[in-house]
Amino acid sequence: MAGVAVDGAQGAAGAADDLGEVVPGPPRRVVSLVPSLTEAVAAGAADLLVGATDYCVHPAGLDVARVGGSKYPSVEAVRAARPDLVLANVEENRESDVAALRAAGIPVWVSYPRTVPQALDTLRRLYGALGRPAPGWLGAAAAAWADLPAPAAPTPVVVPVWRRPWIVLGSDTFAGDVLSRLGLRNVYGDADQRYPRPAADALRTSGAALAVLPDEPYAFTADDGPEAFAGLPCALVSGRHLTWYGPSLVEAPAVLAAALARPVTAAG
């Protein structure tokens, strides 16, 4: 698929982030406030990683200082880890925390990919900012997404990411682009909002032929989710493979395709 090539050469230290900000580099101590970027750094520059959030659970057994949640990290805990670079994300982290860290003199590198090609480019530039060559898995991820068969007529889907209240994928989201490359069409993909909050009745009459239920951020399961879509097939998918951009991108096409091919249907 066009647009997913990744340059494997080492980027220049100080590469721009997704908002165009250039941070000094290369760093020696990195704190990540983004689980997918924590995994990415651990898989190519583990010696630099000194801190991460409580939700950074990949790779297993990661032994670094914990600094709280992604939405509500402890700025003091981040500062105590003495980083010379913090990794953040527009959606996952609050602008006020990024501002507080910068006010404390700590550079912050911010990610914001909304498509698979953008995510691959984000990761390439991240390694440039770290002063490290792009690892082999990044090239493998580009190849995995480039080799997808041309999609047939897209299946209309609805993709809740939360309930009580219901929140769904809308327009201009990374996960929405992932699904489109797998032959699906998000029925809320043209919404004015990136994460609309439709009523439950609207979800059931949205025209979707399939509900895609990830296990994060809301942990949808066979017993929690499909019953709200009685009679509509529901695919229970890995949230990490749907929403993370990092090493999981290598296996994401195969993992998601397998889950999408095994929908469950709650009794009507």
- 228 pLDDT higher than 70: yes
Supply 68's token pair. Answer: 């709280």
* Tally of helices (H runs) and strands (E runs) in the chain: 9, 12
Residue 14 pLDDT: 65
- Among residues 53, 177, 156, the alpha carbon closest in space to that of 114 is found at 177
Give the chain's mean pLDDT: 92
- Among residues 165, 177, 251, 168, the alpha carbon closest in space to that of 211 is found at 168
At 151, the pLDDT band (50, 70, 90 cuts) reads confident
Topology of 155-265 in CATH? Rossmann fold (3.40.50)
Domain residue extents for the chain: 30-144, 155-265
Question: Sign of the CA dihedral 54, 108, 20, 247?
Answer: negative
Which strand (E) or helix (H) includes residue 88? Answer: strand 85-89
* Mean per-residue pLDDT, 75-88: 97
- pLDDT: is 85 or 152 the higher one? 85
Residue 11 pLDDT: 39
Q: Which long-range contacts (CB under 8 A, 24 or more apart) does 109-112 make?
A: 109/17, 109/21, 109/23, 109/85, 110/17, 110/18, 110/19, 110/21, 111/17, 111/18, 111/34, 111/37, 111/87, 111/245, 112/18, 112/19
- 88 pLDDT higher than 60: yes
* Mean per-residue pLDDT, 97-113: 97
Question: Rounded to an integer, what distance in angstroms lies between the CA atom of residue 165 and that of residue 162?
Answer: 7
CA distances from 246 to 123, 126, 133, 203 (A): 7, 11, 15, 31
* Mean per-residue pLDDT, 217-225: 96
At 97, the pLDDT band (50, 70, 90 cuts) reads very high
Residue 268 pLDDT: 60
Question: Rounded to an integer, what distance in angstroms lies between the CA atom of residue 199 and that of residue 208?
Answer: 15
* Beta-bridge mates of residue 22: 16
- 255 pLDDT higher than 50: yes
Question: Rounded to an integer, what distance in angstroms lies between the CA atom of residue 266 and that of residue 230?
Answer: 5
Superfamily the domain 30-144 falls into: Nitrogenase molybdenum iron protein domain (3.40.50.1980)
- 161 pLDDT higher than 50: yes
Whether a cis peptide bond, with omega within 30° of 0, leads into 26 is: yes
Indicate the SS3 state at residue 41. Answer: helix
- Among residues 138, 41, 20, the alpha carbon closest in space to that of 85 is found at 41
Question: Rounded to an integer, what distance in angstroms lies between the CA atom of residue 75 and that of residue 138?
Answer: 31
- 4 pLDDT higher than 70: no
pLDDT tens per residue, range 15-68: 899 999 999 989 999 999 999 999 999 999 999 999 999 999 999 999 999 999
At 266, the pLDDT band (50, 70, 90 cuts) reads confident
- Among residues 7, 45, 39, 43, the alpha carbon closest in space to that of 26 is found at 45
- Do the domains 155-265 and 30-144 match in fold? yes
